[in-house]
Structure 1
C-alpha cells in the first residue's frame, strides 16, 4: 500500500491539480467507515467478483476458519468466517493511540499465527500527508484466540543501524517468511529517509530473532529496475507476499503505481531450496505474473489461501473500480494453478460479474457471529 506521486518538472500545474485530487481521495478513504455484512447461513454454488469493497486484502486460513484482517477508522479489525467469499462481521483488535509514532495512517495490516500467538504487522505514522513517517509496528495476541487482547510490541527497526532506532527508515507492507527453521521479515522501504513521499520503494529482507524483533541488518532484495515494473511517475516495489509450493519459495509483490491501472504483480523465486534467502543472488525475478486487462484495473497487494478441502489454491487481491487515478478499490478472488515447473499460473484477472465456482469443500456449520465493529 502506498499513497504517493512524483513531482514532474515539465508539468507543475498538472501535478498541482493531481495532488489536490489525490489528497481528497485519501481523506475520503480515511474517514470512511464500514458496516460489515453478517455471514449467511447458506451459500450458493457460484459467486462473482468483486466480493466486497476494500484494499490490501489479507486473508489466512486457520483450521476451518478464514481470518480476514484490515484497517478501518485508524484501527485494525479482524473477522472470522467459514466461507472465503462471505465475510462475517468484524471486531476491532487494536485502535491507534491518540499520540505517538503510530497514531495515524494505519496501512495494510497482516495477521500471522506463529508459535501459539497471532502477530499483526502494520504500517503507521505520526502524521500525513506527506506520508514520510511510515514505520512498521507489531501486535501480539494474548493466546491462540484471534479475538483475544493484543499487546503493542512496538516499532521494528527497519533502518541500517540496529543499535539506533532514532535512525530508523520508512517501511510498509511487512510480511514474514518461515524457511529452514528461521524467521525472516520482508517489507517495502526506502534506501534512506527522505522528506518527500515521492520516493522510490524497494524490497528488503532481514532475519528475525523472534516475531517482534529483527536480527542483524536489512538486505536489499529487489529494486524496480525491469521495464515492466518501471515507466510511470514513480517506481515502486511493495506489498511482498510469500507463496510456497512443495520445496519452492516465491515472493509475489506489487509494482508500478498503486493509484494507476498499470499496478501489477512481479515475482521473486528462490533458485534452490537450500539457498540463503538473505543473499540477493539466491533469487530470480520474473514478471509481470499477474496484471489487469480491459475490464480489471490495477491488480495488487495479494494474499493466498487454500479452499476448505485444501485441494485448490486461491489468490485474493484488490483492483481499481475505474481507470481514473485514485485508490477507490474492491476485493476479488479467483483460483490459480501450477505450471509443470512448479511456478504459479495466475491466469487472467476475471471480469466483474462472471460466475465462478465456489471454493471446493464445505466447512462445518456454525452459528451466526454477534461480533461487530463498534
Structure 2
C-alpha cells in the first residue's frame, strides 16, 4: 500500500471518530463541523489578505480582476469584479496573478498584463491600481505600469515582468518581481527575481537588482529554468521571500526560499539573501505545488499558506486552490511540512469554528 493512501486512511478514521464523538456528546452542528477539505475552490495564484476580521481573496477572471470577502478563510465569499482592462492598451489582455494590499488608507492591486491576448507570452508587464477610498469594492484608478528596467531615466525601457509584490522594510518600500534579463522573442526565456526601491506604492524609483536566478539543482533540469511568484513572509524579526520554481505547467513546480541574513543589511544587495529549498513540493498525490500567499487564522494564533496545485500530472494550467497550516523550525525558518492530499479532513483555522 502506498504511503499516501495509508495517511489518507488514518486521517479519515481520525476525522470520523472525532465528529462522531462530538455529535454523540450533543454538540451542535456548528461546533461539530470543525474540518474542511482541500481544494477550497478552482483557480490559480491565490492571494488572500486579512483585515479587520475579514479575508479578502483577489484573483483574475470574469473579464477582469475580482475580490471576495468572507469571515472564513476556508470559504471565500462571492467574487465581485472591481476592475476591467481597457481596450487597445498595454494592459488589455493576459491579466495574471493580481494581489491586493493596503497602504495609508487605500487599497492597491498589483498585477501583470499584456497588449496582446494569448501566447506566446512576450509582452507581460506589471501595473498597479489604486482604490478611490478605503472600500476595496469601490472604484479603482489605473496608475499605469511600474518601471521594471535598468535605466530609470528612460521609463520606456521597461522589461518583461510578472508577479510584482511589495516589501516594506525599515521604513522603505520595495518592489519584488519575476522578470527577464532582456525582452525576448520567445517565452521560453529564463526568469529571475528582481528588487527595486519604491517612492510610493505605485512608483519604482531605482534601477532593478537581480537577487535570485534558477541555479540550484532543485531549480533546474526541466524544460525551462525560472524563479517567479515571490511572496514576503516575516516572522520574529526575520524576512523571507518564498518563491516558485521549476515549470508552472508541470508537476515539478515547487517553492524555494530566500532569507535575509540580517534585516539591517540592504535587501538590494544580492549577497544579503541566503537561498534554500525546496521548502514545499508535491508528492505522489499532490502535483505542482506553487505560487502562494500567507495569512493568519481568525484568532491570530496560527500561520496559514494558500497555494495552488495541478489537478493532474498532465502538462497544463488546470489548477485548484488549497490551504494548509504551517509552523516554524527552532532556528526561525519555515516548516511547511508535506502537502495534504485532496479530501483529507483538515481542522479549520483556529477561531473559525466559532
Q: Is the shorter-chain TM-score for this pair beyond 0.5, marking a shared fold? A: yes
Given that 1:55 and 1:330 are in contact with CA atoms closer than 8 Å, whether structure 2 keeps it comes out as yes
Taking the aligned partners of 2:30 and 2:160, their CA distance within structure 1 comes to 45
Return the index of the structure with the highest Cα Rg. 2
1:68 is displaced (CA, Å) by 0.2
1:159 is displaced (CA, Å) by 1.1
Given that 2:42 and 2:320 are in contact with CA atoms closer than 8 Å, whether structure 1 keeps it comes out as yes
Alignment match, 2:327: 337
Given that 2:243 and 2:256 are in contact with CA atoms closer than 8 Å, whether structure 1 keeps it comes out as yes
| Secondary structure at 1:305 match in 2 | strand
Of the three residues 96, 103, 117, the one matched with 2:92 is 103
Root-mean-square deviation (Å): 1.3
Taking the aligned partners of 1:136 and 1:63, their CA distance within structure 2 comes to 28
Q: TM-score scaled by structure 2?
A: 0.90
Given that 2:147 and 2:158 are in contact with CA atoms closer than 8 Å, whether structure 1 keeps it comes out as yes
Of the three residues 279, 282, 285, the one matched with 1:295 is 285
2:72 counterpart of 1:87 = no
Given that 1:169 and 1:192 are in contact with CA atoms closer than 8 Å, whether structure 2 keeps it comes out as yes
Taking the aligned partners of 1:232 and 1:222, their CA distance within structure 2 comes to 18
1:188 is displaced (CA, Å) by 0.2
Runs of 4+ in 1 over 3 A off after TM superposition: none
Given that 1:139 and 1:151 are in contact with CA atoms closer than 8 Å, whether structure 2 keeps it comes out as yes
Taking the aligned partners of 1:83 and 1:157, their CA distance within structure 2 comes to 36
2:96 counterpart of 1:112 = no
| Secondary structure at 2:95 match in 1 | strand
2:261 counterpart of 1:271 = yes
Q: Residue deviations 1:139-182, cap 9 Å, x none?
A: 00011111111000001110111122222110000011110011
Alignment match, 2:246: 256
- Where does structure 2 lack aligned partners over 5 or more consecutive residues? 1-28
Alignment match, 1:169: 159
Given that 1:83 and 1:363 are in contact with CA atoms closer than 8 Å, whether structure 2 keeps it comes out as no
Given that 1:266 and 1:289 are in contact with CA atoms closer than 8 Å, whether structure 2 keeps it comes out as yes
1:355 is displaced (CA, Å) by 0.5
Taking the aligned partners of 1:133 and 1:327, their CA distance within structure 2 comes to 19
Of the three residues 311, 316, 321, the one matched with 1:326 is 316
1:363 is displaced (CA, Å) by 8.7
Alignment match, 2:305: 315
2:343 counterpart of 1:348 = no
Q: Quick check: 86-95 or 355-364, which moved more?
A: 355-364
Q: TM-score scaled by structure 1?
A: 0.85
Taking the aligned partners of 2:234 and 2:95, their CA distance within structure 1 comes to 28
Taking the aligned partners of 1:363 and 1:293, their CA distance within structure 2 comes to 29
Taking the aligned partners of 1:73 and 1:61, their CA distance within structure 2 comes to 23
Of the three residues 29, 47, 60, the one matched with 2:49 is 60
1:42 is displaced (CA, Å) by 6.1
Alignment match, 1:35: none
Given that 2:62 and 2:81 are in contact with CA atoms closer than 8 Å, whether structure 1 keeps it comes out as no
Taking the aligned partners of 1:81 and 1:248, their CA distance within structure 2 comes to 29
Alignment match, 1:282: 272
Given that 1:308 and 1:363 are in contact with CA atoms closer than 8 Å, whether structure 2 keeps it comes out as no
Alpha-carbon spacing, 1:54–1:143, altered in 2? closer, same or farther (3 Å): same
